[in-house]
Structure formats: C-alpha cells, structure tokens
Structure 1
Amino acid sequence: MIRLSQEHLQTIRTHAESTYPDECCGIILGYLASEGKTVVEIMPTENVWNTEAAAEFPGDRTTESKRRQYAIAPEIMLKTQKEARVSEARRGSEARSLNIIGIFHSHPDYPAIPSECDRLYAWQGYSYIIVSVQNGKAGELRSWSLDDHHQFQSEVIENIT
C-alpha cells in the first residue's frame, strides 16, 4: 500500500500534462513502514532520455524516444537521496527514515499499466506510479510494485489528508 494526499496526486497529474506528448517522470520521497509507504514529497524531474541514456541499457533502445521512455539523471537520484538523509538528520532522532520510496512516470496515450521495459528496469521495494495521459489530459493513475519473481503487482493507493 502507498499513502499519498490529493495534492501529491495533483502534482503528478500536472507534471504529466505539462510534458505531454512525452513521458514525464519524478521521484517519490517518503517513509517505509510495516503497513506500507507514506509519501511526504513528490519531486517532478526532467526526462533525460536520449541516445546516451539509451546506451546505458542493454538491448537496442536507441530508437526509442521520450514519448515511450523516461530516464531520471543518476546525479539527481543521488542528490535527492543525500538531501533526504540530511533533512532527516536535522529533524533529530525522533524522525523516521525519509527515503526515495518510488518513481512516477506517465504513459502518453497508453494505459497506466507497466510496460516490459518498465518491469526490466524496476527496482525491488519501490512503488511505481503510472498516470495515463490521453490527448493531453491526465486520467487513470495506478501504483505498482515488484513481487519476489520480478513481476509487477497492483498496489493499493490510499488517500491521506
């Protein structure tokens, strides 16, 4: 289960609509607990997918475009994780551990279900929120996580206030 507010959902939808017809992407920061994940911040990022990014992945993905692929710059992922830890340290010992708990991206003119490429490059333990954008308008939004067999399973989204 992943818990997030209407404001978090709106941030994802707005970013997805603003990048259409390309895929959007971003980082989900929050807390991990036994009962699920709680989102604290949604951080939209630039989709840096290009020929160089494609070369980092196995197989011939160089012909794919930002309309069907996304990539978050590794330095942004690292910087975000470091900043989350620094902010945690500033809050003191009472704070729960703030981490990157997931990634979001859009599927322009395609359903909010993971592609095979999404599955191949997904990381265990993360939530993957996908929003379908049809003709420039954000629609269905679903969350997914990998099971022990590296297959996506639907994840319950709970709204918090």
Structure 2
Amino acid sequence: MLKINFKEYEALRAHGQETYPHECCGVLLGKAADGANEVREVVRAGNTRTDSAHNRYNIAPGELIKIQRQARNAGLDIVGFYHSHPDHPAMWSATDIAEAHWIGCSYVITRVAGGNAEITNSFLLQGTGEDDKSFADEAIEILMAEATA
C-alpha cells in the first residue's frame, strides 16, 4: 500500500498538468513501515528526455543523487517515483517496467488527458532483481491532514 497526504498527492498530479503534453517525473520520500510505503515529501525532478518527452521520462543521475542526499539529511528514504502519462492510461508500460530498478518502491502514474489530471494508480516493484522483477497493483491511501485545535 502507498500512503500519501492529500497535499502531496495533489502536488504530483498538478506537476503532470503543468508539464502536459510532456511527461513529468519526480521522487517520493518517506519511510517503509508495516507493509506500506509512507510518503512524507514529493520532490519534483526534471525530465531529461529530449527525444520523446511526451511518452518517456528520465531523471538525471546527478539529480537523483542530490535527492537521495536530501532524503538522508531529512531522515527519509526514497520510497517511490512518479510520472505522468499524457493522453494515455495510468498503467505501466513495457518501458516503465524495463526502466524500473528500485525493488520495493512504489511507481505512481497519473493519466493527464487534455491537460487535466484524471486517474492516478500506483504499482509496487516486486522481485529480487532484474530477472524476476514485476509490478503489482498497489492501493493508494490518501491521508487527510488532521484538523488543528
């Protein structure tokens, strides 16, 4: 299960709308606990794909290392990644599975149709390595901020 606050959930969906008709991408920081990836922060990343930005994404290694350091300094881990699918279903593609390497992480995909974020799905990357990795559908629990007194 992926647990995410409403604010962060809306932030990753808004990112997809802003970059439409190109794919957006980013990293989910948090903690894995009790069988769930709990997101505490959504970090936007630049899509470095210039050849097919409308249907592919890539996070530059240097940027990913910077985000990893940011997570470590905050006492968090990378628990997932997100990207958008402009005018395509919020389902993983053959490219998505081929380019997914972080076993145990959540991969969140939002369908952005005509510039509007529609469906958002999450998939957990399972397996022990490249030879047996697979995506499993993952429920998303959206947490509402608690009211303050």
Please give the per-residue CA displacement for 1:109-148, whole angstroms capped at 9, x wherever unaligned: 0000000000011121110000001111100000001232
Q: Which residues of structure 1 form unaligned runs of 5+?
A: 51-63, 89-97
State which drifts further: 26-35 or 145-154: 145-154
2:28 partner amino acid? I
Aligned positions of 1:1-161 closer than 5 A: 1-50=1-50, 64-88=51-75, 98-123=76-101, 124-148=103-127, 149-161=132-144
Aligned mates of 1:146, 1:46 — CA distance in 2: 22
Q: CA shift at 1:99, angstroms?
A: 0.6
Please give the per-residue CA displacement for 1:62-113, whole angstroms capped at 9, x wherever unaligned: xx5100100111111111111221222xxxxxxxxx1111110000000000
> Normalising to structure 2: TM-score of the pair?
0.89
8 A Cα contact 2:25 2:81, kept in partner: yes
Q: CA shift at 1:34, angstroms?
A: 2.8
2:87 partner amino acid? D
Larger Rg: 1
Q: Supply the RMSD in Å over aligned alpha carbons.
A: 1.1
Once the two structures are aligned, what percentage of the paired residues are identical?
37
Aligned mates of 1:83, 1:136 — CA distance in 2: 30
8 A Cα contact 2:21 2:86, kept in partner: yes
More helix by share: 1
1:19 partner amino acid? T
Q: Which residues of structure 2 form unaligned runs of 5+?
A: 145-149
Please give the per-residue CA displacement for 1:32-87, whole angstroms capped at 9, x wherever unaligned: 1133111000111111113xxxxxxxxxxxxx510010011111111111122122
Length, aligned pairs only: 139
1:105 partner amino acid? H
